[in-house]
Structure 1
Amino acid sequence: MKWPFQGKWIAAGFGLTLLFMGLVIFASFNSTNEIKQGANQVQDTYQTLNTLTNFSAAMTSAESARRGYIFLGNRQDLQRYQNEVINMQSELRLLKRQIHPTSSIQQQRVAQLNLLVNQRLALLEQSIQLYQKDKTALQTQTDITDRSIQLRGEIMAAIANITVEEKRYLQSSLEQSQYNINLRILIEILGTCLSIVVIFILGIILERQWIKREQIESLKSSLAQEKKLGELKVHLFSMISHEFRTPLSVILLSSQLLKEILTELVDEKQLKNLYRIQSSAKLMNHLLTDILTLTRAEAGKLDYKPHLINIENFCLNLVEDLQLFGITPYPIEFLNNGKCFRANIDEKLLYSILSNLLLNAIKYSTDTEKIYLILNSEPEAILFQVIDKGIGIPRGEQPKIYEPFYRCQNVENIVGTGLGLAVVKKCVERHQGEIIVESDVGVGTTFTVKIPHINVLK
Structure 2
Amino acid sequence: MLNNEKDVFNVLFEAVSEGVLVVNDLQKIVSVNSSIEKMFGYNKDELIHEKLEILIPKRYHPNHGSHFKGFMKQKEKRQMGKGRDLYGARKDGTVFPLEIGLNPFEIHEETFVMALVIDVSIRKQQEFEILKLNEELEIKVAERTRELSKTVHELKVVNVELDAENQKRIEAENHIKDALKKEIELNELKTKFLSLVSHEFKTPLSGILTSTMLLGKYKLTEQQEKRDKHLETITNKIHYLNNILNDFLSVEKLDSGQINYKFHTFKLSKVVNEVIYNANMLLKEGQKINYPEDIDEISLTQDEKIIELSLSNLLNNAIKYSPENAVINIEVKQDKTYTTFKVKDNGIGIPEVDQKNIFNRYFRAENALLTQGTGIGLNIIKSHLKNLGGTVTFESTEHIGSIFTMKIINKGKK
The 3 A distance-change label for structure 1 pair 391 and 430 is same
Q: Distance in 2 between matches of 1:337 and 1:396?
A: 37
Q: Distance in 1 between matches of 2:409 and 2:230?
A: 43
| 2:239 paired residue number | 282
Residue identity in the other structure for 2:371: I
| 1:352 paired residue number | 309
SS of the residue aligned with 1:421?
Answer: helix
SS of the residue aligned with 2:279?
Answer: helix
The 3 A distance-change label for structure 1 pair 405 and 106 is farther
SS of the residue aligned with 2:273?
Answer: helix
Q: CA deviation at 1:317?
A: 1.0
SS of the residue aligned with 1:315?
Answer: helix
SS of the residue aligned with 2:108?
Answer: helix
| 1:224 paired residue number | none
SS of the residue aligned with 1:286?
Answer: helix
| 1:291 paired residue number | 248
Q: CA deviation at 1:441?
A: 0.7
Alignment pair present for 1:304 and 2:248: no
Q: CA deviation at 1:412?
A: 3.5
Q: CA deviation at 1:281?
A: 2.6
Alignment pair present for 1:128 and 2:108: yes
Alignment pair present for 1:116 and 2:102: yes
Q: Distance in 1 between matches of 2:222 and 2:291?
A: 35
Residue identity in the other structure for 2:254: A
Q: Is the 8 A contact 1:312 1:341 kept in 2?
A: yes
The 3 A distance-change label for structure 1 pair 79 and 339 is closer
The 3 A distance-change label for structure 1 pair 451 and 108 is same
Residue identity in the other structure for 1:388: D
SS of the residue aligned with 1:335?
Answer: coil
Q: Distance in 2 between matches of 1:442 and 1:166?
A: 45
Q: CA deviation at 1:109?
A: 11
The 3 A distance-change label for structure 1 pair 87 and 322 is farther
Q: Distance in 1 between matches of 2:224 and 2:327?
A: 28
Aligned equivalent of 1:371, options 328, 333, 342? 328
The 3 A distance-change label for structure 1 pair 330 and 347 is farther
Alignment pair present for 1:91 and 2:22: no
SS of the residue aligned with 1:413?
Answer: coil
Q: Distance in 1 between matches of 2:240 and 2:308?
A: 14
Superposed, which structure 2 residues align to 1:228-239 within 5 Å?
A: none
Superposed, which structure 2 residues align to 1:201-350 within 5 Å?
A: 271-325=228-282, 331-337=288-294, 340-350=297-307
Q: CA deviation at 1:268?
A: 7.3
Q: CA deviation at 1:279?
A: 2.4
The 3 A distance-change label for structure 1 pair 373 and 115 is same
Task: Mark the structure with the bigger radius of gyration.
Answer: 1
Q: Distance in 2 between matches of 1:390 and 1:113?
A: 40
Q: CA deviation at 1:315?
A: 0.8
| 1:405 paired residue number | 362
| 1:76 paired residue number | 3
Q: CA deviation at 1:418?
A: 1.0
Which region of structure 1 is more displaced relative to structure 2, 107-116 or 382-391?
107-116
Q: Distance in 2 between matches of 1:106 and 1:379?
A: 63
Q: Is the 8 A contact 1:276 1:327 kept in 2?
A: no
Alignment pair present for 1:445 and 2:402: yes
Aligned-residue RMSD, C-alpha: 4.6
Residue identity in the other structure for 1:423: I
The 3 A distance-change label for structure 1 pair 293 and 168 is farther
Residue identity in the other structure for 1:440: T
Normalised to the residue count of structure 1, the TM-score between the two structures is 0.48
Q: Is the 8 A contact 1:310 1:343 kept in 2?
A: yes
SS of the residue aligned with 1:438?
Answer: strand
Unmatched runs of 5 consecutive residues or more in structure 1: 1-73, 98-102, 131-143, 181-250, 259-263
SS of the residue aligned with 1:336?
Answer: coil
The structure with the largest helix share of the pair is: 1
Q: CA deviation at 1:434?
A: 1.2
The structure with the largest strand share of the pair is: 2
The 3 A distance-change label for structure 1 pair 92 and 329 is farther
Q: Distance in 2 between matches of 1:171 and 1:390?
A: 48
Q: CA deviation at 1:106?
A: 7.8
Deviations 1:86-105 (A, max 9, x none): 125973993889xxxxx996
Q: CA deviation at 1:340?
A: 5.0
The 3 A distance-change label for structure 1 pair 430 and 403 is same
Residue identity in the other structure for 1:283: Y
Aligned length: 265
Residue identity in the other structure for 2:109: Q
Residue identity in the other structure for 1:129: E
| 2:48 paired residue number | none
The 3 A distance-change label for structure 1 pair 384 and 272 is farther
Q: Distance in 2 between matches of 1:277 and 1:327?
A: 20
Deviations 1:231-257 (A, max 9, x none): xxxxxxxxxxxxxxxxxxxx9xxx9xx
Q: Is the 8 A contact 2:298 2:334 kept in 1?
A: no
Q: Distance in 2 between matches of 1:390 and 1:316?
A: 23
Deviations 1:408-436 (A, max 9, x none): 12223222211111111111111111111
Q: Distance in 2 between matches of 1:266 and 1:420?
A: 39
Q: Is the 8 A contact 2:344 2:403 kept in 1?
A: yes
Q: CA deviation at 1:331?
A: 3.1
Which region of structure 1 is more displaced relative to structure 2, 165-174 or 343-352?
165-174
The 3 A distance-change label for structure 1 pair 386 and 430 is same
Q: Distance in 2 between matches of 1:404 and 1:376?
A: 29
Aligned equivalent of 2:372, options 410, 415, 419? 415
Residue identity in the other structure for 1:128: H
Q: Distance in 2 between matches of 1:168 and 1:340?
A: 63
Q: Is the 8 A contact 1:370 1:388 kept in 2?
A: yes
The 3 A distance-change label for structure 1 pair 113 and 175 is closer
Normalised to the residue count of structure 2, the TM-score between the two structures is 0.52
